[in-house]
Amino acid sequence: MNRNRFGELEIIVRSPAGEANPTPLLFVHGAYTAAWCWEEHFLAWFAKAGYESYAVSLSGHGKSRDRNMLDGYSIDDYVNDLGEAVQALPAPPVLIGHSMGGFVVQKYLEQHDVPGVVLMASVPPQGLWSSALGLMFKKPTLLQDLNRMLGGVTPSVASVREALFSQPIDDARLLEFARKSQPESHRAIWDMTLFNLPQVSRMVEVPMLVLGAGEDHLIPPTLVHRTAQTYGVSEQIFEGMGHAMMLEQDWEAVAVRIEHWLRQEIAA
């Protein structure tokens, strides 16, 4: 595993042992996290499958630039970060975005073409409003905890479990994820809620895979379906999984599905 800095952006890179597929993969994290969320399983797995695999930390996240300026960053700033990372890669990548990262990928498609995209438990093009309302009525304590995280409060183990996981996970790992979590930009959250939603009519049409989790409290299957319906594709829901699809116990089933889609849809 290598950590590189592409300019002022943190990139985690895993390379295959042999010849790489000509199309690399670029993974984009969600809110409250950074590139590290792809490091535990996905980067090494896809490198072993033959893909040059990169994960970027958006500005204000992980070891990328200006953590102290996080709250000033907008979704457009994150889109610019993504463009900066794409330009630094050896070839145009497939973009794989989780949660907020999926929203950033959608916004990127308003101005740029890529070989394909995978949206994992992504914020839908209609924004976060429906998700927030659902949490308000069904999981008000979780919504309160997420709002406190915006202000820099470290979440409890119980909140991390409820927000991200459905399958068994031990408290030590939950505590590790709680410690690694970070605040998110209020401005970016409001952009995703109301002020900077994807303009679907402007987006470049590319091969797209839409995935969701059956026990996801943040982006439930109804919202995953809304995303897929908007883009004219069929979603796949992984039953029994929570929001952190790349970290759940059955993460490999998600990786296998993505790899199968890559082999079918993305020309080598």
> Strand ranges (DSSP E) for the chain?
2-6, 9-14, 25-28, 53-57, 94-98, 117-120, 208-213, 235-238
Residues 6+ apart with CB under 8 A from 71: 183, 185, 186, 187
With residue 88 as reference, give the H or E element that holds it. helix 75-88
What is the value of pTM for the model shown? 0.95
Average pLDDT value over all residues in the chain: 92
Per-residue pLDDT band for 253 (boundaries 50, 70, 90) equals very high
> 76 lies in which domain range?
2-265
* Amino acid 258: pLDDT: 98
Q: Supply the CATH number for residue 57's domain.
A: 3.40.50.1820
How many domains does one find in the chain? 1
Q: What is the pLDDT of residues 151-189, one digit of tens each?
A: 667 778 888 888 889 999 999 999 999 899 999 999 999
Cα-Cα-Cα-Cα torsion 69, 70, 72, 75, nearest 10 degrees, comes to 140
